[in-house]
Chain A
């Protein structure tokens, strides 16, 4: 039993216990894990065997009352046992970091599925493209996915053991997670950052659809148009006074137009530039004076929106973009 368990992290999933390798990076992660596991096993065995052998051989007993003469230092040995770990550290660092860089970049391929995640005590909410919001996450096999995550209250952490991925969800900023599911099925999504009473019950299911058609069928089912994020964004745009200064048809007014703003590189009065993304939109709404678009005046008052309203605004901005 123990050997099977020991082997589990190395050789593969034991049914029902070890998580599946359900994302494109899971296998790479497990390879790094196996590398470190065997490396550690070797050194631990070395330490334990040497300890036991020395204790047995050199134990003080009537025939051995005094130690044998032996040197009290040896530079070659010291260099040996600092040099070998140093070399191994470099190898390990290289292997691990290479895999990590894959874990943090979006796989190339089809247009990514972008899903807005909102965490709150003690539940998850996933806004899928097309307006379907749900307490469960729906994905498509082989389709690169990007989760854009915000928290409504405290820090949470989205953890999918079967994907080998985890990312904190921090109030006051957006964090991202990118991956490509490779196995159809359902996998638990849990919270890994302590968040209070029902932290241990803050879980949801991730359903990976075998194809796009199956996902689309689910995404269409029972969507009330009013529930979509784009509509929420539009409502915010119209009701919070934005419409007074920003157009949606490309004409500049007191402020820049919102048409084709999303994803653009915006130039500021102080000469810097930034990509218009969730973080920028959030800053522009909450602290408009932080960066002033070149050619416009610093006149916009801060607009206190909540996280979901900002996400709605982002979705609306994406909808105001021409083309793909």
Chain B
């Protein structure tokens, strides 16, 4: 045992990507996907913090039916920026750009993404977009909702803020397109010679499906933002009825992007869940091909469901019926994935480490989020529930609850690889429990308020809804505490954490064959083949040495 431990840290001579170069320039202008991933992670965490602070102020204002903590206008600006910052700066880029950037080439067995310069450009476009959003705030904010529906959003009185916001969408959109494009090209062309499509980790399948959506749907957001920008400046008469335009056309364009964008958020989350559930059950993933294909199916169907955001916009009943049917179909690939994950745990040897606990939380939260989607895809129930707190609760379950728990699962899972340090398990588990409890306390009451008829985006509300709103506010603070503990545990590990072995979890995908943290060029010798869910031959040596492949010649 002790002998093996000394043998374990392989290639001790290789300096890690963190030590490869030093100085601020070596980070800001780096072409190394791992460093870009880390920079994304920092930027995204800052956005999450900002969006979270907005959310807490909103919840505090809703403590009393009459509001009063901030003015109605300030409340309206806050929920707009909360939505815009969370969606465009945290949830959409969160998993792909931060974790994906770091992990994709490593899981592929490649030295970098196909286009490192494009990757850096994508990061800086993200930063420019984020700065523009901050500029919106400085310019006095906008009170349009993140959906920016004209004619309200393009009225003359909106001032500079709306122009900055549209410019920010345009820029952030291109950042997202470039990330997706890079992933697709890398997954196609950077695989080792003997790795076929069905030898790829499911996280890569998920990011591949995500990339398709990013490349195809995001440009429509770009052109919509551009048209809105010009409409506001020059009164083109495209969206504004006042000048002969059609405001509903904007909604079609907006949701043609923004509904698939929900799948940009959830598909990578599902990819993380597929990895973690298999590794921590110590069993190959169940139904690999069905999970992989259901990612593609979700991406494909996802392009044809946008109309369900417009069931009461005045579009024809037949259009509504068709969109309703297509929307309900999304339930099937989601169900396939869920049952395959559960089947993966069956007869496993389940290790309840922090990533797995977050994934268990994901199952329940995604279950609620997905199933409440049925109420909104079905026409008869969507009509009363549309634009109420039911919708708010539903999309927070999917976009926040499910994505956030998966993001935190992935972050804890790959943290040792990224930083070379083990996080604190006790803090990790505590944070998972608080996030789970706080999340439900925040959003379950909102389902009730919605069913009872409380519309969304209300700065004030009828006294009947006070109890729901107070529970929700308390829950939001519990959630915030849980998030702070997660942050504290992770950041603290940088200073106090135990050194991470190359493979602390006994995972079989290629990133775990590199040292923790990996070297600048990832693999000194390019791998030729990999079976990412073949755990046979992996043996646990010790806490310090982690798992190593023994016995038969691995990875052939």
Query: Which A residues are closer than 8 A to B by beta carbons?
Result: 5, 8-9, 16-19, 28-29, 32-33, 36-37, 39-40, 43-44, 47-48, 50-51, 54-55, 58-60, 64-74, 77-78, 81-82, 85-86, 89, 92-93, 95-97, 99-101, 103-104, 153-155, 157, 159, 161-162, 164-168, 170-173, 175, 188, 190-201
Contact = CB atoms under 8 A, between A and B. Distances in A.
Interface in B302-325: 312-314, 317, 320-321, 324-325
A82 B381 contact: no
B364 A48 contact: yes
B371 A44 contact: yes
B440 to A, nearest CB: 12
Contact of B380 (A67, A86, A99, A159): A99
Interface residues of B, number: 85
Contacts of B347: 58, 67-70
Contacts of A33: 375, 380-381, 451
Interface stretch (B163-171, B200-208, B241-249): B241-249
12 contacts: A29-B384, A39-B374, A40-B372, A51-B363, A58-B281, A58-B347, A81-B339, A82-B290, A100-B379, A165-B384, A197-B143, A200-B461
Interface of B: 72-73, 76, 143-145, 149, 151-152, 155, 241-242, 245-248, 281-290, 312-314, 317, 320-321, 324-325, 328-329, 331-332, 335-336, 338-340, 342-343, 345-352, 360, 363-364, 367-368, 371-372, 374-375, 378-381, 383-384, 386-388, 448, 451-453, 455-462, 464, 533
A39 B328 CA distance: 14
Given A40-B372, A92-B374, A166 B383 contact: yes
Nearest to B310: A168
Contact of A54 (B282, B345, B351): B345
A32 B378 contact: yes
A54 B343 CA distance: 9
A170 B350 CA distance: 54
A167 B149 contact: no
B82 to A, nearest CB: 13
Contacts of A82: 290, 332, 335-336
Given A66-B349, A77-B343, 13 more contacts: A17-B464, A44-B371, A47-B342, A64-B349, A68-B347, A73-B286, A74-B286, A97-B324, A97-B379, A99-B380, A166-B312, A200-B457, A200-B458
A82 B293 CA distance: 12
B198 to A, nearest CB: 11
A155 B378 contact: no
B383 A172 contact: no
A96 B241 contact: no
Nearest to A73: B287
A99 B346 CA distance: 41
Contact of A36 (B317, B350, B375, B458): B375
A170 B313 contact: yes
A100 B380 contact: yes
B291 to A, nearest CB: 10
Contacts of B350: 54-55, 58-60
Nearest to A42: B371
Given A47-B338, A96-B380, A154-B155, A55 B352 contact: yes
A93 B328 contact: yes
Contact of A192 (B151, B152, B387): B387
Contacts of B453: 19, 159, 161-162, 190
B331 A85 contact: yes
A161 B384 contact: yes
Contacts of B331: 85, 89
Contact of B241 (A43, A101, A161, A172): A172
A153 B451 contact: no
Contacts of A51: 342, 345, 360, 363-364
B303 to A, nearest CB: 18
